[in-house]
Amino acid sequence: MKNNIIISGVPRAGKSTVSHLLATRYGFQHISMDSIIAGFEKCFPETGVSTYQGLSSMDTLRVISSKMAPFVRAMLDSGEYDEFEPGMVLDMYQLLPEDYDRYLRDANCDIAYFITSDVTPEERFAIQKKYDTEKDYTFWKSDEELREGAEYIVEQSILIREQCEKYGLPYYETARDREQAFQRFLEDFGFIPET
């Protein structure tokens, strides 16, 4: 395994949960790329990295992914974490497999995607309602917003799954058997899961 790992995929599929697990149990330095993207949105709008630019959710995903992949490559090429075992875990929503393949495949990082492509939008909405807590940003959204979000989360998940299959990248479906998916990820990446 390489020093660094990117945990990517759709919102509320378990990226932060897995990233925190890698940080607390295995010593990775956790970096939330969503926070960095928020910083770009607020301080450097000229970069075009913006979740709220009037595009469809798919187009926004594509734009941000194509801009952030070279940025992540520059972070990795700095070598800042190469001397550490392990290095960093980057928790990142907007990174498509095609951009990982184009910019990051030969960098000092592995990647795993967490998605929910095996459910309908209505099932995705029900799952989210069941598990949302006050700590989740989605807890405060209306049911209408959550239903709309569930549609694009499933749509993006399907795209990510298709691209993962095309580029030979690992992905984990978390809508139905979340804990089992986490265990498979740990085993696949050579971590010793707790029993």
Domain boundaries, the chain: 4-188
* Residues counted in the chain: 195
Per-residue model confidence as pLDDT tens digits over 80-131? 777 777 889 999 999 999 999 999 999 989 999 999 999 999 998 888 877 7
Distance, CA of 193 to CA of 195 (rounded, Å): 6
**What 8-state DSSP symbol labels residue 52?**
-
Collapsing DSSP to helix, strand or coil, 107 comes out as coil
- Complete DSSP assignment for 10-51: STTSSHHHHHHHHHHHH-PEEEEHHHHHHHHHHH-GGG---S
What's the fold here for domain 4-188?
Rossmann fold (3.40.50)
Pairing of the two strands 4-9 and 29-32: unpaired
50, 184, 172: which is closest to 116 by C-alpha?
A: 172
For residue 158 the two structure tokens come to: 């399907």
With contact defined as beta carbons under 8 Å apart, do 117 and 173 qualify? yes
Q: At what angle do helices 33-43 and 57-77 cross, to 10 degrees?
A: 110
Per-residue model confidence as pLDDT tens digits over 13-25? 999 999 999 999 9
30 has which bridge partners?
89
Listed in sequence order, the residues at least 6 apart from 20 whose beta carbon sits closer than 8 Å to its beta carbon are 30
Per-residue model confidence as pLDDT tens digits over 121-160? 999 888 887 777 787 777 778 888 888 889 999 999 999 9
Distance, CA of 146 to CA of 124 (rounded, Å): 9
In angstroms and rounded to an integer, the radius of gyration of the C-alpha atoms of the chain is 16
Lowest mean pLDDT segment, chosen from 4-8, 39-43, 94-98, 160-164:
39-43
At residue 39, the pLDDT reads 87
